[in-house]
């Protein structure tokens, strides 16, 4: 009977969310500029009689007049904001939720991943993710060690390279922006195995995962020749590539590792929620670079993504607060900041496609869904996802990815499907069934690739160095046993 009630509640949550979207069908459509691989914002004024130039399909050389200083400045700022999300944002967010004996180990995971992934992205990750390859499943090797990328103008070579995905900024800026996404995605996984994975095992797993799992999914969705991109999948800033990808890997890790020693019997409350709140606030601020930066230009669509990120997050925070107030009798700080992250996750794939009203409805809908998985499903199944990466990032990412296929509808205030071959108004045909099939395919493909791939990698790493520390070392805390230092010396 309990299981039936749980399933009923879940079904009702989805029905309420979807019917809420439909309630705003009379909202006026929001006109927005094209996002990527399109002419600049003023291209809409081009005469319909002029033939459309073929869109570039690979990085190319351009002269100085093709580079926009405004777009470049915005993308440099966005890159810094997204890096700020990981260090110190995510590091502090996670560190406050663990016990004090594991604080430094938790922070160090985010910092080490930043360094490891940065080098790997320069060496191989960028090329595999964002250059066209011989198949629709993986990029080529033309940018290994960023070979062929021209960084500056000089008298002899008055040109530099741009990505075919961002024509008005240097390719080096685009590569660095995407590097920050490649950094935070594996760092998110750390919340699932908090307090119980060896540092050496974590380093090996994250290094391999960033190349073998993350890079292919990024290519599928964001490189125009990727198989999901050609299907018409919409993922503005990483609902599938980042959040579902990391979230399902986190669940697999929690299942493979098993529960923390004393889980369910010992007191494991967060040791410092003030740190967690500071980290969450940094995540929120950095997320404007994450979502609004994903337009690769500074224009109206950038502003739309900025607005949607703000209002959806605020709505989700309030929604989680109310849900917790009803279920537990009191609203908590941890609940509010968790709701904020759920809202940020859900709006990520829709941020440049939905209208503000649809974004608010999405924010209101995602929190009860995530609350259900965090408070009900987790306890019912019995897995130890220490910091609720699966319940917030994977479930919130799935909710956002599917909702994007609905909220892009102009009749619901969305921008509609953008057709880059139509230079008059860039309008394409929207079909709900076709779009939802594409969105669902992306969700399932990411779940399978990342879930199965992560399970294999965990087993391989376990054979090499072992995943978990010995029982007495885990009890003492990873700060001392792995790193020989304490966060608090008083």
**Domain boundary assignment for the chain:** 13-483
Instruction: Write down the pLDDT at residue 49.
Output: 41
Query: How high is the pLDDT of residue 482?
Result: 94
Q: Which one has a higher pLDDT value, 33 or 434?
A: 434
Indicate whether 460 pLDDT > 90.
yes
For residue range 158-210, list pLDDT tens digits in order: 889 999 999 999 999 999 999 999 999 999 999 999 999 999 999 999 999 99
C-alpha–C-alpha distance, residues 254 and 248, integer Å? 10
Helices (H), 258-386: 273-292, 300-328, 333-347, 356-372, 378-381
**Is CATH 1.10.3430.10 what the domain over 13-483 is classified as, yes or no?**
yes
Look at the alpha carbons of 321, 325, 328, 333 in this order and tell me if their dihedral is positive or negative. positive
Rounded to the nearest angstrom, the gap between the alpha carbon of residue 248 and the centroid of all alpha carbons in its chain is: 12
Query: How much is the pLDDT for 426?
Result: 63
Helix axes 432-464, 395-407, angle to 10 degrees: 160
pLDDT of residue 157: 72
User: What confidence tens digit (pLDDT) does each residue in 381-429 have?
Assistant: 999 999 999 999 999 999 999 999 999 999 999 998 876 556 566 667 8
Predicted pLDDT of residue 423: 53
CA distance 40 to 55: 12
Site of tokens 């919340």: 191
CB-based contacts of 304, cutoff 8 Å, min separation 6:
30, 32, 351, 352, 356, 415
- Smallest CA-to-CA distance from 234 within 223, 221, 251 is with 221
Q: Where are the alpha helices (DSSP H) in 131-224?
A: 171-189, 199-209, 215-222
pLDDT (0 to 100) of residue 412: 92
Question: What pLDDT does 422 receive?
Answer: 60
Please give the Cα distance from 24 to 230 (Å, whole number): 30
346-360 pLDDT, tens digit each: 999 999 999 999 999
CA angle at residue 4 from 383 to 316, to 5 degrees?
65
| Tens-digit pLDDT profile for residues 282-336 | 999 999 999 999 999 999 999 999 999 999 999 999 999 999 999 999 999 999 9
Separation CA 78–CA 226 (nearest Å): 25
Note whether 366 and 339 are within 8 A (CB): no
Residue 159, pLDDT score:
87
The pLDDT, as a whole number, for residue 55 is: 64
Q: Tally Cβ neighbours within 10 Å of residue 53.
A: 10
């Amino acid at each position: 009977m309990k299981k039936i009630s749980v399933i009923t509640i879940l079904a009702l949550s989805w029905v309420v969310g979807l019917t809420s979207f439909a309630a705003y069908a009379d909202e006026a459509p929001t006109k927005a500029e094209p996002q990527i691989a399109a002419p600049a914002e003023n291209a809409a004024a081009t005469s319909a009689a002029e033939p459309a130039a073929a869109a570039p399909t690979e990085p190319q050389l351009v002269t100085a007049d093709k580079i926009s200083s405004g777009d470049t400045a915005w993308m440099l700022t966005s890159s810094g904001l997204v890096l700020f999300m990981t260090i110190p944002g995510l590091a502090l967010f996670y560190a406050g939720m663990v016990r004090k004996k594991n604080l430094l180990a938790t922070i160090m995971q985010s910092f080490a991943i930043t360094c490891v992934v940065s080098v790997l992205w320069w060496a191989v990750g960028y090329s595999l993710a964002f250059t066209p390859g011989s198949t629709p499943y993986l990029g080529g090797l033309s940018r290994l060690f960023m070979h062929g990328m021209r960084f500056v103008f000089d008298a002899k070579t008055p040109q530099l390279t741009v990505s075919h995905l961002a024509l008005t900024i240097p390719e080096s800026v685009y590569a660095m922006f995407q590097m920050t996404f490649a950094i935070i995605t594996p760092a998110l996984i750390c919340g699932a195995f908090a307090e119980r994975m060896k540092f050496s095992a974590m380093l090996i797993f994250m290094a391999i995962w960033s190349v073998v799992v993350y890079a292919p999914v990024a290519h599928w969705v964001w490189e125009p020749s990727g198989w999901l991109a050609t299907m018409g999948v919409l993922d503005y800033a990483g609902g599938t590539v980042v959040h579902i990808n990391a979230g399902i890997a986190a669940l697999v890790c929690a299942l493979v590792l098993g529960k923390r020693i004393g889980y369910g019997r010992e007191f494991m409350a967060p040791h410092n929620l003030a740190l967690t709140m500071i980290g969450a606030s940094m995540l929120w601020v950095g997320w404007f670079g994450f979502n609004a930066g994903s337009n690769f230009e500074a224009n109206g669509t950038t502003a739309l993504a900025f607005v949607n990120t703000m209002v959806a997050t605020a709505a989700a925070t309030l929604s989680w607060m109310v849900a917790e107030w009803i279920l537990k009798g009191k609203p908590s700080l941890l609940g509010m900041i968790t709701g904020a992250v759920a809202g940020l996750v859900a709006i990520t794939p829709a941020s440049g496609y939905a209208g503000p009203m649809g974004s608010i409805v999405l924010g209101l809908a995602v929190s009860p869904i995530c609350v259900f998985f965090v408070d009900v499903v987790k306890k019912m199944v019995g897995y130890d996802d220490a910091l609720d990466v699966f319940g917030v990032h994977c479930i919130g990412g799935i909710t956002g990815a599917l909702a994007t296929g609905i909220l892009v509808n102009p009749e619901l205030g969305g921008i509609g499907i953008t057709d880059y071959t139509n230079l008059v108004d860039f309008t394409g045909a929207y079909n709900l069934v076709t779009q939802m099939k594409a969105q669902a395919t992306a969700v399932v493909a990411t779940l399978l690739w990342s879930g199965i791939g992560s399970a294999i990698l965990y087993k391989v790493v376990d054979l090499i160095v072992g995943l978990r520390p010995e029982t007495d070392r885990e009890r003492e805390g990873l700060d001392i046993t792995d790193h020989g230092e304490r966060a608090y010396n008083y």
